[in-house]
Structures are given as C-alpha cells and as structure tokens.
Structure 1
Amino acid sequence: MYTLSLEVVNKCNLNCSYCYLGEKKNTSMSIDTAKKAIEIAVHEVQKQYDKTLVIYFIGGEPLIAFNVIYEIVAYTKSRCMEMNLKYMFSITTNGTLLTKKIIDFFIKDKFEIKLSLDGSQEVHDLNRKDYQNVGSFLTIINKLKLLRKYEKESDKKVSYAHVVTKNNYQHFEKNFQFLIDLGAERVETGIDYYCTWNNDEMKGLGIQIVNVFALYKNQVQIEKKRIYWNLLEHYLEMYLTTCNFYACKAGLNSMFVAVNGKIYTCIELPEFQIGSIMEGLNIQRIREIAYVEDKLSESCINCKYKSICKTRGCQASNYEIHRNIYEPVEVKCRMTKVFLNLIENNFTSQQLENLKIREDR
C-alpha cells in the first residue's frame, strides 16, 4: 500500500484554535500539480506488494476544493485501471460543507470519511469556531442525516476524529461517551502535542486515558458494541510488534504533497522535504531520513519500554518540538507509558498471543 496525502487547499471556513496550519495562505492545489503528484505515486505504488494506492485528501478544509477532488478522483481511477492497480480514497473534513451531491459522490467512489467532531456542543465549540467566533457544532449535527445515508449505502463507518488539548482534556471521558452515544463505531483520538503541557495537565490526561480505557472495555465486553479506537489499536500494535526506529517509514511507503507541489515525508518542514512534483522524489534524501541511525536519548535510556517504543522514533514531531530527531515529545512519551501499562495489566498472555497472530496477518 502506498499513501499519497494531498493538501488540496490551504484555506478553511473554520478558525480552530489548535489548527496546525497556523496562518492560512488561502491557496488551492492546481489540477496540474495534483496530476503530477499522482503520476509519481503511481510509479511508487508499483513497488508495493499489494499494488494499492490510497489518496488521502486533506486541507485546510478539502471540500472547499471539491472541484479539484472530483477531477483528481477521475484521473486516479483512469490511471490505476490503465496500470492494473487498486485504489482507495479517504478524506478528513470538518463536515460543514457536506451536501447530498458530495455524499453521493463519496458513496459512489467508496470514500473513507473522517469527520472532525470534538464531542458535546460545549466542548466542540470551545475550539472549533468560524471567523465570526461562532461554534460549528450545530452545523455539523445537522449533517448527521447525510452521514447516516453514507453509512447505510456505502457499508462503511464514519470515523469521528476528536482533538484532546489543554482546555478540554478534563472532558475526554465524557466526550468519548458522547461520540459512542451518537452512534460512532470508529473513534480517532488526536492528542494535541503542539501545545505545552505542564506536569499536572499530563497527569490529568493520563487519568482520563485510564478512564476512557475502562469505558471502552465496558462498551466492548459488557455492551457488546463493536468500536474501533485508534489509540488502543496503535499501542497494541506497538506492544506486539518488533520496534524499528522510524517505524512508519514515511517517504518509503507514503508522501505528503503540499498545495505548492513540494513533497514531504509527512509534515511541511523544510528538513523533511523529499522532492517536488517538478523534480520528482529525492531518493537520497528519503534514504537519509528512513535509514537514520537509531540512538537513545537520555530520557529513554532507563525506560522499561525502550525496546518496543515507536514513539521515540517519530522524527518529524521530535524535530518540530525539540529540533532533535531523537528527543521524544514529553506528553507523547508519558501517554505511551500509560497505554503500554494498561495493555500489560488488562490483557492475558493468551489474549495478547491471539492479538499478535492478528497483527502478523
């Protein structure tokens, strides 16, 4: 599988307080840029065992550039059929611009949808407001009928993505329950690693994670609900598989193309640029990033989980926060320990062995 993340637009109709884009440039990707990116991806995906190309549309708010998405999908399908490749489409959206026309398009082309919804109205509207400082919760809730139509007709489940940050982490458990009550079967928790968490806040976040884990277990074991929680799946995989520094291998099996056509491993940092749509991929730079020497930082030397931890190998986030690819982000480090401890103490050896068999497949 090869993933091409396309930043089809750098503008947004919301002004979320934790947005990683910072000052938005209000530009859209040209069709020509997108096609050149797809050509590079089509070449790369042929090196992958399963010959599957995943196109992931992001922004900004990607639906602002729906006309671009429409053209890209048609072009991707045509090129993949010519080359006998499989393809998948995915999008992250704030949901405010969804229409029946767009949903029907997503159904027809089997899109995966990730919807940004932080939880209850009180919590969601703390951070996810428009440029008039009006919360977006009610607008999104009014789109639920369209999302139910999508789930029914596509036989896929919407992923509900919520961000946990300093001004809402105390409501983590409550918001997780809110999303489940709303009907979410896929919950994707994103912890805001870009803000500065103090010690008390990190302790509080750890307590909330323990509470959410207990809630999740109850929903799955007692209520018999089928719920996917990305963080638990991520840390289970970490616990069960061999650790490699820079385990994600971004650049080898994926690339991120910015609006301007520059290509990065995953985030738009000059140090992680690996090419451009005009010049192609810089193979030497990809190898330098992907096969960098593994070193333990001082903060990792005495950690009991150092042999399995993949958090310390996230070069991009380490560098963005510390300007050091080996120094893990503290809140990520501490939350990793919370999750791995939960796994150790809540799964039997047989359960873990069964899960390992699943991972190996």
Structure 2
Amino acid sequence: MSLIHRYQSNGYNIVLDINSGCIHVVDQVTYEVLPYLEQGMDADQISEKLNDRFPEEQIRTSVAECEKLQKEGMLFTKDIYENVIDEFTNNRQTVVKALCLHIAHDCNLACRYCFAEEGEYHGRRALMSFEVGKKALDFLIANSGSRHNLEVDFFGGEPLMNWQVVKDLVKYGREQEALYNKKFRFTLTTNGVLLNDEVMEFCNKEMGNVVLSVDGRKEVHDHMRPFRKGAGSYDLVIPKFIKFAESRNQDKYYVRGTFTHYNLDFSKDVLHLADLGFKQISVEPVVAAQDEDYAIRPEDVPQIMEEYDLLAKEMIKREKEGKGFNFFHFMIDLTGGPCVYKRLSGCGSGTEYLAVTPWGDFYPCHQFVGEEEYLMGNVDEGIVKPQIQKDFSKCNVYTKPACKDCFARFYCSGGCAANAYHFQKDINGNYEIGCQLQRKRVECAIMIKAALAEE
C-alpha cells in the first residue's frame, strides 16, 4: 500500500502524503524519483534508473530534499491511527449533537430523482406536530451530554408546508438554551415554492444555514424538479433564491443541485448558478439504482471526471478575476491535514446524528428513513435498539475493505453509509461510482489550492 498519491493536473505535479495530509507541488525530476524512493532505493540506484532522462546532479538533489521531508514527517509517513481505532471507537462516549427533523413528509414538487418519493418516504404523508418536535428537542438536550452546541435541520419533503411548527420549535429551542446551557444552530432545506418575505426575515434571524434546492439551467431544473402536473418550477423559485442569497450577504446558505445522466455537462449548471450571482454552490451526483433512466452509469464516469477538471480550471480563472465562488465539493481544508476526528468517526450518522420522522421515529439519517431494520427508537421511548448505534460507531475507513488502498479515505472517512447500504446492503460496503468521483474531487480541490497559492 503506497504512502503517497501522485498525480498530474492542469500542468502541476502534485504529491499527497496520505497519512500526514501534506501536499507537495514538485518538479518533474522529483515526481519521477518518489516511487523509487518509496521502494527503498538509494540515490545511486535511482540515478541508474533515471539517468537517461535527467542530469545526475538534479536526481541526487531531489533525493536529498525528499529524504529531508521524510525526516521532518512530511513524506512517507506511517498510519498511526489504525492500531488505536478499536480503542477509540470502544471508549469514546457517544452523545447526540444533531437531529434532522422531517417536519413534513409531503411536498409540492414531484422531483424525478427524489429518494423521499415526493416526501412520503415509503409511507404516508404527514406533518410533524409541535408536540413530537418538542419531544425531539427534549431528547437532543437530554442526550447531548456536556456538549454546548447542538444542531437541528428542518427537512422534508418541503418544510415550508409546515412553517408554523418550524417557527414554534425554534421559539421553544431558544427558550431551552439558557435553561440547559445549550446553543441551537437551526438550518432549513427548501425548494423555494413557498418562500416569501416573512420566511426570509425569520430565517435571516434564526437559521444558521439555509439550503436552496435548484439544479442549474432552466431546462435541467424544470425537467427534474417539476410540479405534480408537470409545469417547471425554475421561473418561480430563482428570483426568490437570488433575493434570499443577497439578503444573507451571499453567506450562510448554499444553492444545492443534483446532476443526473441527463446533464453530465453539469459544470455548465454550476457556472450558470455562479453567473446568476450565487457564491455558495453545490451540485452533486444523483445516487440512484442503476435501473433508473436518470442514474449515473459507470460509462458516464470519464465525462464527469472531465467536467470536474473543466470546472476547477474555470474556478481558478474566476477567482483570479475577482469573480470567485465556493463549490461545496471542492472545499477541503488542507492547512492542518485531514481532521483526525473526522477520519475516525465519519459523518456521525446513527451515533451523533439522527433523523426524526413526523410521528417521532428515529433513524440513523434521512436516507435510512423507511428502512424498518434501521428503526432505532422514538421520541417517547428513546433509543430502543442501541446495537444499531454500536454498529454505526464502529463504521470507519478501517472497517471498509474498499478504503484500505484509497488515497482519499481520510477526506471522506469511508463515504456515505446509506449509499453503501443501498448498493451493497452493508454499511461497511461502498458505492464505487461515488468513490471514483470523490477521489477526483479531492484531486481537483488540491490542484485549485496549488494554483491559487502561486498568486
């Protein structure tokens, strides 16, 4: 298993030291020297291998510089976490710090790719009552231990179809903060159909983040996100979203889209949203069964890779022109290497983060809702199947065979457990297309950092 990942992108020779997270932009000599150095060859042996391509002095200088980096713990570093992962997962006290409240299992759109089946989630349409929501917040407070900051996401379906309960729960949460020394960060995801000035004003006061669902160009959005009678929703929601983003000073929100087999040229959708003035953008690949006509297929992957490259180059250009924007999947903090906590614990689904249905059932996350084997408990009884929590707490890059040799494993912490379950019926499995795209996004993110660091 290699300790480094080398790749070439946009004219840069980039080397990632996998275990430390150190990034090196190197010349061609060093790029070629590194694999031999990792094999344990010395300067004489490497010179013999490469002397027909590079001057011996350059080769020896490169070897010396790499050996210095290795001594400083910045190159060929060993994995110091694998031997302690069991101790970490067994001894770590798990507290709940976030809830996804399914405030409405109903929706006023009929998005073709919606895993929630127009908000129904394999079941019945329903709106969460204030009483159920109140019990969920009480559960969160009671099970959060000494943790001060808590997060609650209002999700659906479409949360604005149950707007009064959203407002009432925010009010209740604020009342509990001083009583229990907690601080709630509320967030909301909306399709924008019911968005109005009153909602915007309330959100700007109370919501730490708002996700605005839009897929990009009008024809793409209207094809995938129509009303139930077939009319498109783009013309209705876009002016509202533009106004809302401006009212939040282009911060603490993002427009979130999904690309499918039908718009593999999704970089155009990202740039369309940027051209509309949005500064916080996420357009993500659909995750769907292969028999769906809109699903991403293995043969689509090369084109998607090219789109990420195109997007990365255009983002560099725009940033240098003073017209930059953030693309969620290229946002990686490289300053301190991969976060140790994240690499060991992942997203926290099933342990620190739970989804709550309108009638108060607990699931590991919103994508497990309706999968009865993952019904964990409810707001009245609490967690009645603690084994599910234990299974998720032990889910990490070291329990997933596919992660063993993946250079990006510490940036995704093994990927999405729900995707693994839906494709392999095992939360310790993997979604191969998702893994390929994740690796490409990490490469692009690092390249962008390298390019902008030259300025």
TM range (shorter): 0.7 to 0.9
**Segment drifting more, 106-115 vs 174-183:** 106-115
Question: 5 Å matches for 1:79-228?
Answer: 79-144=176-241, 146-147=243-244, 150-152=247-249, 156-170=251-265, 172-196=266-290, 197-220=296-319, 222-228=320-326
- RMSD across aligned C-alpha pairs, in angstroms? 2.7
CA separation in 2, counterparts of 1:237 and 1:322?
A: 35
Residue identity in the other structure for 2:258:
V
Structure 1: gaps (5+ residues): 352-361
Structure 1 equivalent of residue 132 of structure 2: 33
In structure 2, relative to structure 1, the CA distance for the partners of 1:289 and 1:141 (3 Å cut) is closer
SS of structure 2 residue aligned to 1:107: helix
Instruction: Please tell me whether the aligned partners of residues 395 and 428 of structure 2 are also in contact (alpha carbons under 8 angstroms).
Output: no
In structure 2, relative to structure 1, the CA distance for the partners of 1:149 and 1:178 (3 Å cut) is closer
**Segment drifting more, 27-36 vs 303-312:** 303-312
Structure 1 equivalent of residue 407 of structure 2: 305
Residue identity in the other structure for 2:304:
L
CA separation in 1, counterparts of 2:374 and 2:329?
A: 25
Structure 2 equivalent of residue 336 of structure 1: 438
**What is the CA distance between 1:349 and its match in structure 2?**
11
Give TM-score scaled by structure 1 length.
Answer: 0.86
Give TM-score scaled by structure 2 length.
Answer: 0.69
Instruction: Please tell me whether the aligned partners of residues 150 and 183 of structure 2 are also in contact (alpha carbons under 8 angstroms).
Output: yes
**What is the CA distance between 1:209 and its match in structure 2?**
1.3
Instruction: Please tell me whether the aligned partners of residues 215 and 283 of structure 2 are also in contact (alpha carbons under 8 angstroms).
Output: no
Instruction: Please tell me whether the aligned partners of residues 245 and 251 of structure 2 are also in contact (alpha carbons under 8 angstroms).
Output: no
Residue identity in the other structure for 2:428:
Y
Instruction: Please tell me whether the aligned partners of residues 346 and 413 of structure 2 are also in contact (alpha carbons under 8 angstroms).
Output: no
CA separation in 1, counterparts of 2:312 and 2:407?
A: 20
Q: Which has the larger radius of gyration?
A: 2
| Number of residues of Structure 1 aligned to a counterpart in Structure 2 | 343
**Which of 158, 167, 171 is 1:70 aligned to?**
167
CA separation in 2, counterparts of 1:209 and 1:128?
A: 23
Residue identity in the other structure for 2:106:
K
CA separation in 2, counterparts of 1:300 and 1:334?
A: 12
**What is the CA distance between 1:108 and its match in structure 2?**
2.7
Residue identity in the other structure for 1:194:
A
**What is the CA distance between 1:329 and its match in structure 2?**
0.6
Structure 1 equivalent of residue 376 of structure 2: 274
| 4+ residue segments displaced more than 4 Å | 234-239, 343-351
CA separation in 1, counterparts of 2:196 and 2:235?
A: 15
Residue identity in the other structure for 1:289:
F
In structure 2, relative to structure 1, the CA distance for the partners of 1:287 and 1:327 (3 Å cut) is closer
**Segment drifting more, 201-210 vs 251-260:** 251-260
In structure 2, relative to structure 1, the CA distance for the partners of 1:245 and 1:191 (3 Å cut) is farther
Identity %: 23
Structure 2: gaps (5+ residues): 1-95, 291-295
In structure 2, relative to structure 1, the CA distance for the partners of 1:167 and 1:235 (3 Å cut) is farther
Instruction: Please tell me whether the aligned partners of residues 31 and 71 of structure 1 are also in contact (alpha carbons under 8 angstroms).
Output: yes
